[in-house]
A = this chain, B = another copy of it.
Amino acid sequence: MRRDSRLSRMLHVLIHMDRHYKRATSETISKMLGTNAVVVRRTMAGLRDFGYVRSEQGHGGGWELARGLDQITLLDIYEAIGKPPLFAIGPSVDQPECLVEQAVDAKLGDALKEAEALLLERFRTVTIADIAADFDRRMPEGRCNIHGDIHAEQSASG
């Protein structure tokens, strides 16, 4: 395993969903992410449980946003995917008896906690709409260069 990419993937897909003219199926989303439909359902399940997206079963079903992108922060999504560990480094044991080791882990833990606080503060203050706005500045027509097939077809087909 390399690095947990669920947060990145979910942000990516939520922006696409916002520009999609109808519900997106897991299959469609999986092709967009270059992965498998089961992986999509698995990861999006958390977002559904937190009320950021809705899923409909059966014929014509799929996924849709349950609120605007300006109402969802990166922190929301981070929590919805289960707050996976942020850091790849850490102490060797959880509660060392050795007081030297305790001192090391305390100092190291302080630095990690500071960095984590900063990171989560950034996550808290950035909405997905902010990221979408960054994209719109680069692509004023609001159409993705790659996944254009599922984007903003409202005027053409609906």
Contact = CB atoms under 8 A, between A and B. Distances in A.
Nearest to A93: B34
Interface SS majority for chain A: helix
A88 B4 contact: yes
Nearest to A111: B122
Q: How many copies make up the complex?
A: 2
A138 B99 CA distance: 8
A92 interface: yes
Interface string A12-44: 100110000000000000001110000000000
B138 A91 contact: no
A155 to B, nearest CB: 20
A131 interface: yes
Nearest to A107: B131
B85 A3 contact: yes
Most buried by B among A2, A33, A108, A130: A108
A107 B123 contact: no
29 contacts: A3-B85, A3-B87, A5-B89, A8-B105, A11-B104, A12-B100, A12-B104, A15-B103, A15-B104, A16-B100, A32-B98, A74-B108, A86-B87, A87-B87, A88-B88, A98-B146, A98-B147, A99-B145, A99-B146, A100-B132, A102-B135, A104-B131, A110-B122, A111-B119, A111-B122, A111-B126, A112-B119, A115-B122, A118-B118
